[in-house]
A and B are shown apart, each in its own frame.
Chain A
Amino acid sequence: MTQLTQRFQTREKVLVVGGGIGGMRAALDLAESGKNVVLIDTSNAIGGLMTQLDRTFPTNNCDLCTLSPTMSEENRKRRIHLMPLTRLTGLEGQAGHFTATLVSEPRHIDMSLCTACGQCQRSFPERVNFNPGLDHRAPTCMRYPQLTPQAFSISGASDEEFKKLAHCCPAGAIRPDQTQQQTQMHVASVVLATGADIFDPAQLDYLAYGKDPDVVTSLEYERIVSASGPTKGELVRPSDGRAPKKVAWIQCVGSRGLQKGEASYCSSVCCMFALKEAIVTRERFGDDIETTIFYTDMRTFGKNYEDYLNRGREQYGVRLIRSRPHSIVRQPGDQGLRIAHCLGNESALQEELFDMVVLSTGFCIPKETREMADQLGIALNRHGFVETGQFNPVATSKEGIYVCGMLESPKDIAETMIQASAAACRAASHLPNAAAGSKDENQVYPPELDVSSEAPKVGIFICSCGENIGGLVDVKALAAQAAALPDVTLSEVLDHGCSREAMETIRQAIESRTINRVVIGGCSPRTHEIRFQETLRKAGLNKYLLEIANLRDQTTWVHHDHPAQAAEKAGLLIKAAVSAVKAARALEDQSLPINRDVLVVGGGVSGMTAALRLAGQGFKIYLAERMSVLGGVAALVHRTIEGGDIQAFVRELIQKTMEHKNIQVMTNAFIVDHSGMPGMFKTGLQAGPQMFYRQISHGAVIMATGAMPSRPGHYLLDEHAAVMTQLDADALLEEKPDTVSGWDNVVMVQCVGSRCEENTNCSRLCCQSAVKNALRIVQINPKARIFVLYRDMRTYGFYEDYYRQAREKGVIFIQYDKDTPPRAAASGAHVEITFTDPILARLVSVEADAVLLSTGFVNEDENTEDLAAIFNLARTTGGYLLEDHIKLRPADLAKPGFFVAGTAHAPKNIKESLAQAEAAAARVICLLAKEKINIGAAVAKVDSSKCAGCLICVRACPFDIPYINTDGYSQIDPARCHGCGVCASECPAKAIQLTRFEDNQILAKLNGLLERMVA
């Protein structure tokens, strides 16, 4: 085992338990903010569950490509001490002063010698682990090739086998005598991120899982269609290797159930998971494969997930049937698997045959995790997940121990990332303040070679990106064609260009073939340029001697309907990139000192929480609220579904915020102007009763501007006294509970103003609000008859418990279709609600004493629009702020230096908002922990010998940077230039060039694209 370096011997570090996506994010955030981290995982490599996925919803991106760069991030090496095959067995002491006991299993391989050649595994597949053993039947789970650390482990080998292993290992790295090691370690805080297990459907015998090979779990299906899976991305039926024509998904397997072994909660992600698999199936393997999802409620409640559902149904023709099939039976001969189900409102059973059935299995907490929780002394909820506070989303019952991801509750990747960053934020608070700044330790790169006088020698690397590029275009032929271009030294294909292994291949090729220009044919430079630049730097090349041809996002993904033309276009893009890279020059990045103050816009619970977390770590906060008081929308709500007192929580939060010495609260504050760049923003506000103007300087912005409760004029709202929103009802139940005693009939209508033309997405909260208020009403007035008219009940996660409780207490839930919504008519003091009962298949009318509308959220008001315009922030069609990456960076906005928390991002409840507030704080700290800020190399440069001093650039610059110096020439300060290039394109003397985008580079690119036509 590797010894802890000196850095990790101090007490000042965080222990992160679990190396899945959540643990990695927490560790990376901590490392990036200058904290030391010990990351342990029981497996032989980090990566967790996400690395098993083929693609992720809702972008259908390949996970490997988005995840693997994160894992190989360079600071991991410097700040993160990785301990695979290790578990936490004990924790003594208290927050800030824990002593952790760690037990590491022997790997039997000396990591410093192993070259990961794989010879041992090929010779002894039974003894050498290179996979997590997820699938017990087929070799369907070769672990992903971008593995970190890239190593194998050996277990259960006999002495004899060890001898043979040692003999076959060319590196002499086999160590039979390694034994289990125990380590005691001081840590200040702990983040638990061990994730969840997949429910084993074998215990539900009616599903034939484990008996019939064509019944698979959703994760196994994912491996079957994955490019790195056992079938190399071919969709085939396990029983006979033939391509299936009819695939069915069965939802809620192991979730929302009361049968033996099933979990009663909802696993939250399976609906989107199944939808994604069905869409990918249609998209990649052909329209002739029929995909059917049997569901209970389609729970697509996340940001823009409803659009995904609509797309799946309308664009991809995924068949959705609301039915829970009771059995899967293999039919004689080759007829396939029979599923009996109900169709629509018909009471008769239908029988249908399928070639393959996928079980959307839920998640549960394994026994080992429960044992660990016992040892740590932290509370678990009744389902065995780690208990957290209603207003304290990532804190366990023991101070100093935090939790994130599936271990806390079932959730998707984006929410896991939010909690992981939040946990990093909280864990860091037990270490010295971040605002003091951490010394940047420069990554040691070899000195840069001066290649300016060399003839261009271009190396081309074409990434097949699993199937994403290689599936449509023959990458080998493309590489061969590119090899014939002038000045090309090397043209190669990489399977996963962003893997550590591929990066290493590129680096070695640059060095051994003395390549001085690199072209990558791969995905978008927006996401991956920085990784390849790093590789160039490691090889001693300036990072700007690189050009990326976007073959994936802008060719294979969008031209799958024209494969031949796509291949031709790919060839042209490579040619253009080669042509452009030859014109590239070595450039130096500009950097500036950073301002560590933070502007938080919005004084609701999210804004205040983010402000307090940052202030607690020594940052100075300006909190701008446009109203005269703090509190936001939460101040209007009284109870959480669990019964928590929101008002008391908000009051306490306001008091803490107002009293904190590092927070300056500005009420009645309107943002009027904004300029600058991350680390050096300037924002102008008019604040206070007199509307005085002031300008503040700051390094980052957290947008916590919230959303508005929607109040659409449907169902006689604001026309009839008996009609109210759930929010109105919440106040009524708190303030005048007696009113409810007189109610005989109550009707609740879901999805009012959500999931419709005016607002296509789901508002997420309304189902829990309705259930919450229904339970409160029956508590006060047990005789009240409550009808909840819903489209899909979306009580995800543990909220399912309350949904079941409501049904047990007699609340009647009736499903309606979007096309036949209930109707309301005034009837004296009552309102008559008419709807179709799907079981009776006839219209039913209820004389309601009260009609409660579940109205959700909107975010299309002028205020958000103005703010987005002033800050120049992109928004979704619903008006919510657009994050940088919907899965991996949900608290970062697309504009650098801007972060988002709470309902400004998407509808969410208070607990979820608070988690994002803490996550935004963590992300801000990552940005501001650096001493200097890199502002890139695209700056305008003036050639004074050509400049006519005409002033056109002075007048054209949007930021007033150029001026005519005493010599009569235009001068542009590179440190202040924003790099837009407007001056360069307007200069009548062609005296200005924008580096990185010089005229000859652009013209060279055009040449590459077009020259064949004229020549």
Chain B
Amino acid sequence: MSTPEHTEHSEHSEYIDVETGKMGMWLFLFTELFLFGGLFIVYAVMRARYGEDFHHAALELNAFIGATNTVVLLVSSMTVAMSLTAIQKSQKNLAVGLIFCTLLLAGVFMINKYFEYGHKFSLHLYPGSDVMRNLPKGEIMFFGLYFLMTGLHLFHVVVGGILLTIVMLRVKSGKINKEHFLLHENGALYWHLVDLIWIFLFPLLYLIT
């Protein structure tokens, strides 16, 4: 590992080991990969078993909203990557602005999800409803996985949003700067993970009908 760096700016000295801090974040991301990976395996096996039902159920999803959200997340991934470039170039205001853009896009994603879930609820398609209980077994499985996977992903969007808000405030106050931006880097890594998961969720749930 690299030599721990000594912060001279804070009143009390503090050791920050950037390389280890980043590796810790990656280890956490690995656990996230297996959290969603497990669900993808359940999806794959159930799809192999109930192909017809999955086909019918997937037609119910709005591919347009799914595609819009894909674009929204990809653009937000770029803005957060750019904010890291900005902080490394000491362009503080630009960095704040770019993180703010990312947060706005996260908001757009959540609004889209609100309408999408709202539509499902108006059709009484939610786990435990009478309509859903009477569907074929495979369709119940599909909608169950749909709500679980997109819901868990949505939770990650919310957490990522909170994390990036903290990063934005710290960039604003100067706590995160050209020399010290480990939290910014790790926040960005988390946000990219949210994007990565959606890259797989989108074709598997919305497109392959």
Our verdict on whether A and B bind, yes or no, reads no
- Give B contacts to A, CB under 8 Å: none
